[in-house]
Every structure is written in structure tokens, then in C-alpha cells.
Structure 1
Amino acid sequence: MTVAASSAPLAANVPLIELDRACVIRGQVRVLHDLSLRIAQGQHTALLGPNGCGKSSFIKLITRELYPLAHADGSVAVRVLGQNRWQVDRLRSQLGIVTGDLSSNLADMPGLTVEEAVLSGFFASFVVPAFREVTEDMRQRVRETLALTGALPLLARGYAELSAGETRRVLIARALVNRPQALLLDEPSTGLDLIARQHLIATMRRLAAEGITLVLVTHHIEEVIPEIARVVLLRSGRIIADGPRDDLLRDAPLSDVFGGPIRVVEHEGRLSAFAG
């Protein structure tokens, strides 16, 4: 089962996400400090760090829920797909975004089925608009993406009845119906049990094999699948380290960024981290 990427790829030299000395203030607190980061198309990347390190603020810059401070020299602090002004819904055929906030909004829609929840991704809404036509091609793409994420048996279920793990798989399928070239995943394993997390990791590996660029924002190193070769470590709104996974997913760098002793264990190609 494959889900082809958008038929209108961007120029290869256009970065997926580019931050140039981005600063963000929430209330009276500066939560991002001169953050500079360039993520290229095709470059699977994980942003890793403890709670409060700036991960959520980074996501909200991309979704335009937060805006960076203006640069005195007039230069642009944030670009997405080469654009300094963008609408997330208009980028959905290039960049799919999966966040927990979306799940809560969909769960509030009475009577919403899984099929309808995924179909709504075509229209960048929480429901299928009454005046919009749903074609058989759309329904087929819903089935394809649900199959890719292992959620096809949930097609007729009520969205609000799903477990946390089932919800994550459906949300990823919803983002994939637009055949994006990249997927931004915000803390995807939050609230998942061990089996659900294994399903999630398997789904991420399938997506990487399909050629979809993954940008993973997390504090769980178990989520950093082998296909993600680049790791960016964040602490207190700053980049502490940026480099190959083999260099950074180790005891010393992780102990530094999390502010305490961390021990990394590898078993059958999978990494786990333990405190102390």
C-alpha cells in the first residue's frame, strides 16, 4: 500500500523549514532565543528536549499560532517551504501537521466517524462542509491512508470512541490524504501504552519508506526511528546540539540537555533511555 506524494514537488533547494534567529515571547517570558535552524526536504529530523525547552513554541511558529519578534534589519525570521507568509491549510499538500490540539477539536464534533474525520482533512476543517462534494476518489484515499497507518478497521467507528493509540493513527491518516511531501509530528506517543507506541513507530517507519520527510518533535528517544539521521537537542529555548543521531543519542549529550544522568540502552536496534 503506497500513498504517493503531491504531484507538484517544490524546487529541491527550498528548505522545508528555516528559522533565522527566531525569538518568541509568551506573556513576559522569552521562550525561544535566537533559534536558527534549517531543515531540508528529505532530511528526517528529530527535535528532542525536556518539557519547557521550546518544542511547543516551535510547533506554534509553524502553525502560526505564535509569531517571532521582528528583526531590526527587516530580515525574515521564519520561512516554511520558502514562504515567509503562509496559510497552513494551503500548505497541506506539501506539509501535513499532526498535533494533540487537533485531536481534541475533532473529539468535540458530535457523531463524527473515523471516515468523516479523515475526509475533513481534504477541507482543512473539523467536519466535512455540507456544501462540498465528497468524491469516490476521496473515499478511496481515506481507505488507503487508514490502511497505511493500520487503522482501516476503524473506518466506521465513532472518532470520540477511539483509544489514544487509535486516535494517533487516524490523525496521521488524516494528514496523509493530501499526499504531503513531509509530516510534522508533535509528541505523537503522548498517552500511548507500549503496544500502541510500537504501532506508532511501525507507522513512522512505513512513512519514511514511502519517501515522506518526517520532522519529529518529542522528548522520547524511543520515537527516534533509525531512519531519522539528524537530531536537534533543545533546552531553555536554545539549540544545545545539532548533529547525527549516533553522536547525540548517547548518555552524555542527553544527560546535558535533560539536566540529569541519562543512560541509553540499545536492544535489537531500538533505543531506550533511563534516568539515573
Structure 2
Amino acid sequence: MIEFKNVTAFQQQHQVFDGFSLHIGEQERVAILGPNGAGKSTLLKLVTREIYPVVRDGSHLKLFGDETVNLWALRAKLGFVSQDLQEDYTPYTTGLEVVLSGFFGAIGAHGHLQPTSEQIAKAHAMLEVVEMADYAERMFQRLSTGQKRRLLLARALVHEPRALILDEPANGLDMGASLGMLALMRKFCGQGRGMIVTTHHIDEIIPEIDRVVLIAQGKLVADGPKAEVITSENLSRLYHTPLRITEQGGWYRCWHA
């Protein structure tokens, strides 16, 4: 699905990655864990082509085996939800319009974008999936953070993507909204699809995720099966804080040691 090989990338004038390599296969469910500033969001912006890597011999970034990506085709393969997208969204857009905008890669409603009856029906179906059918006519700005995040998830699902990419999906949500988002993530994984989640909270790593990648300061720190990577020793080193990790029923929790 995604292959970084010796990738170098900048955010404005700051070099985030230098010779970074990572491979994620189709249908894999992966959590990318790291502190703020580790490079998680930059990694996802490279995938979604918001930014591009430095062109160098022996370096490439491939999506589904190709270096050259058609963004329209990519949307049908990868659904994307982020807090940045939520903050950039047009406030006077209705819930239905938010979901419909996923068909056009737009942020908000635009008069020249005319959805078909099939697209409207599909958008209503996705509102049902994320339990937001009653909010189809509500303005985006009047919704809670959790409700907005659900609408963006529905927007990402309209193309029935092969995988979801979620950038800190429960960030800023209260306890109830956070648990609801995690339940929707589990439902998506239950359909045999891939998922990439970036986070700095291990309690956002749902049981269905089986691989964890640790990054810090743009470098790969650890990569492997979840049980082998999420350890007290690894996370204490990652966050420069003595931590104690426990696991119960596939969920992980963290305490100060």
C-alpha cells in the first residue's frame, strides 16, 4: 500500500525526514506512535500529496506500487480523516454537504459541484453508518467536535476505500465521543480493510491493530507486532519518561512508573 524508501522531506524550511524508510502492505492495520513533533503528520501529508519528498537517486515514495499518483484514483483507495481537515472546513456547510464533498475532493459545498441522485443516496447511507443521519441539515459549525469527526469519517467512506488513514482520530474528543469513534474504527476493520492510525495515545490503538511503528524526530525507533513494540521499556525511551504499560483484552493503558 505504502512504501517509503530513503525519503527526505521538509515542512517549510524544517527537515523532518532524512533517509526515512517504511513499508505498509495492503490490508495491514498499523498504528504510528510518537510524541508531538515526531513527524507523524508530515508522514501522512506525504501520503496524501499535500507535500512532496525531495527527488533523489535511490529514493522513492510509492502508493499501491506507483510513484506517480492520480489523486482522484487515490481517494477511491484511501480515506483520510484529520483534525487539520476539520479545522479548515467551511463552517456553513450542512452535514449532508460535508459527506457529499467527499465525491469531489472539496472542502465544503460549491454551487458548480452537482451531486447525482446516486451520490446523494450514498451520502445518506454513510450518515447512517456513522450514526449521524439526524444531522444531515445541521450546520457544521454548530456541531460538537465528535460529531464533526464522524461527518469527516462518513466523507472518507463514500468511495468505499480499501484503507482508512486517521490522524489522531480521538484528539479533542470527550470520553463518550472518543469511545464512539473507536467503535466505528473497529467496525471498519471488521470488514477486512486496512487502517493507518497516527497517535501519541496508546488507548487509541484498537485491538484490531496488529502492528505498531514508533517514530521520534523523524526516525524509525521500533516497528513490529503490537505486543512486542508497546512495552514499558520502549515507550519510556520514546517519551523520555518512566512509564508502565498494561494490556487487557487487546487494549493498552499507560501509567507513570
Question: TM-score interval w.r.t. the shorter chain?
Answer: over 0.9
Instruction: Summarize deviations over 1:126-184 as a string: whole Å, max 9, x none.
Output: 23443443233212211222222222222221111111111111101100001111111
What is residue 154 of structure 1 aligned with on the other side? 135
Matched, 1:68 2:68: no
Matches within 5 A, 1:73-222: 73=57, 75-106=58-89, 108-110=90-92, 112-222=93-203
Aligned-partner SS, 1:36: strand
TM-score, normalising length: structure 1? 0.87
Matched, 1:241 2:229: no
Tell me how far 1:27 sits from its aligned partner.
Answer: 4.5
Matched, 1:223 2:204: yes
**Unpaired stretches in structure 1, ≥5 consecutive residues:** 1-15
Aligned-partner SS, 1:183: strand
What is residue 237 of structure 2 aligned with on the other side? 256
Tell me how far 1:94 sits from its aligned partner.
Answer: 0.7
Query: Which has the larger displacement, 135-144 or 53-62?
Result: 135-144
Query: Which has the larger displacement, 186-195 or 61-70?
Result: 61-70
Distance in 2 (alpha carbons) for counterparts of 1:27 and 1:132: 32
Aligned-partner SS, 2:35: coil
Matched residue pairs, number? Answer: 257
CA contact (8 A) 1:230 1:242 kept: yes
What is residue 37 of structure 2 aligned with on the other side? 52
CA contact (8 A) 1:49 1:234 kept: yes
Aligned-partner SS, 1:195: helix
Amino acid at match of 1:211: G
CA contact (8 A) 1:76 1:84 kept: no
Tell me how far 1:205 sits from its aligned partner.
Answer: 0.2
Distance in 1 (alpha carbons) for counterparts of 2:248 and 2:137: 38
Identity %: 36
Q: Describe the shift of the 1:262–1:33 C-alpha distance in structure 2 as closer, same or farther (beyond 3 A).
A: farther
Tell me how far 1:87 sits from its aligned partner.
Answer: 4.1
Distance in 1 (alpha carbons) for counterparts of 2:28 and 2:9: 25
Matched, 1:26 2:11: yes
Tell me how far 1:187 sits from its aligned partner.
Answer: 0.9
CA contact (8 A) 2:206 2:250 kept: no
Aligned-partner SS, 1:234: strand
Distance in 2 (alpha carbons) for counterparts of 1:164 and 1:199: 12
Distance in 2 (alpha carbons) for counterparts of 1:244 and 1:161: 41
Tell me how far 1:100 sits from its aligned partner.
Answer: 1.6
Aligned-partner SS, 2:233: helix
Distance in 2 (alpha carbons) for counterparts of 1:53 and 1:209: 30
Amino acid at match of 1:54: G
CA RMSD of superposed structures (Å): 1.7
TM-score, normalising length: structure 2? 0.94
Matches within 5 A, 1:35-46: 35-46=20-31
Q: Describe the shift of the 1:269–1:38 C-alpha distance in structure 2 as closer, same or farther (beyond 3 A).
A: closer
Tell me how far 1:49 sits from its aligned partner.
Answer: 0.5
Query: Which has the larger displacement, 251-260 or 41-50?
Result: 251-260
Amino acid at match of 1:224: I
